[in-house]
Structure formats: structure tokens, C-alpha cells
């Protein structure tokens, strides 16, 4: 079956532009997570949703970052007024369980490689 998909796979933008990164979770998955991963480091938690409700956004670096999941399926991570330090791999993951339950496997998408010039 279809896994988690993300688009675009690669995004190059100029400093100051806004970008929107999309995540299509596995159909029926309840929880959706956003991470940022720098080279040589593990995924850094940004935010997560149960259905359409954003449960925790403590990992968002600043108010230029926002995320939504209005219908409890597709999610969009938006970065406004991008800066060079925003360059990273942005990964989305989904899970069939309400987050926090023991054994809830997170299935990751291939990521969006964002480069801010």
C-alpha cells in the first residue's frame, strides 16, 4: 500500500520567501508528526497532530513556522520569511495510534530537502 508521501522532494528558495511543505500520511493514520533533520543528527521534533488537533508545537523554532492539518489527513508545514538557517531535511511521519501509546510505530516519508539561498 501507499506509504507516507511528501512534496516537493526538493525545494530551493531565496531568503525571505515563504515555503509550504506538504505531507500525505498513510490513509487512516490518526497521528502526524513533523521533524527537521540536519546532517549527522537525529530527527528534531517540531510538532504533531492527533486527527486535526495540533497537540504540541513546542518544537517549532519560532513564529515563522506553523503547521496545520485541517481535515485530519494532509498536513502543511509553512515557513514564512525563510532564512538560510532553515535549510534542512523536513520529515513527516504518521502513526495509526493516538500518539504516546506504547508500540506506536511512526512511518516516515522520504522528506523534503529545503535549501534557502
Partner 1 sequence: RKEVEQDPGPFNVPEGATVAFNCTYSNSASQSFFWYRQDCRKEPKLLMSVYSSGNEDGRFTAQLNRASQYISLLIRDSKLSDSATYLCVVNTNAGKSTFGDGTTLTVKP
- Candidates 106, 112, 114, 116; binder of partner 1 (CB under 8 A) is 106
Q: 15: closest CA among 91, 98, 79, 109? A: 79
Q: Can you say whether residue 51 is alpha, beta or left, with left for phi > 0 and alpha for psi between -120 and 50 degrees?
A: left
* Cα radius of gyration rounded to whole Å, the chain: 13
Query: 81 phi and psi, to 5 degrees?
Result: 45, 60
Are the C-beta atoms of 98 and 30 separated by less than 8 Å?
Answer: yes
Residue among 9 and 15 whose Cβ is closer to partner 1: 9
Q: What is the DSSP letter of 80?
A: -
| Residue range at the interface with partner 1 (CB under 8 A); choices 9-17, 18-26, 69-77, 94-102 | 94-102
According to CB under 8 A, which residues from 1 to 60 bind partner 1?
A: 31, 33, 35, 40-45, 48, 50, 55-56, 58-59
Residue among 74 and 108 whose Cβ is closer to partner 1: 108
Q: Name the minimum Å distance from CB 104 to partner 1.
A: 7
Residue 94 touching partner 1 (CB under 8 A): no
Residue among 40 and 70 whose Cβ is closer to partner 1: 40
Amino acid at each position: 500500500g501507499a506509504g507516507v508521501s511528501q512534496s516537493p522532494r526538493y525545494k530551493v528558495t531565496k531568503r525571505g520567501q515563504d515555503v509550504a511543505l506538504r505531507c500525505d500520511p498513510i490513509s487512516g493514520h490518526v497521528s502526524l508528526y513533523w521533524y527537521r533533520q540536519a546532517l549527522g543528527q537525529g530527527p528534531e521534533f517540531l510538532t504533531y497532530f492527533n486527527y486535526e488537533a495540533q497537540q504540541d508545537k513546542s518544537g517549532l523554532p519560532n513564529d515563522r513556522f506553523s503547521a496545520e492539518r485541517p481535515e485530519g489527513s494532509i498536513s502543511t508545514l509553512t515557513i514564512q520569511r525563510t532564512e538560510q538557517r532553515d535549510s534542512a531535511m523536513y520529515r513527516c511521519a504518521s502513526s495509526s495510534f493516538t500518539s504516546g501509546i506504547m508500540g506506536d510505530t511512526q512511518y516516515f516519508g522520504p522528506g523534503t530537502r529545503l535549501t534557502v539561498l
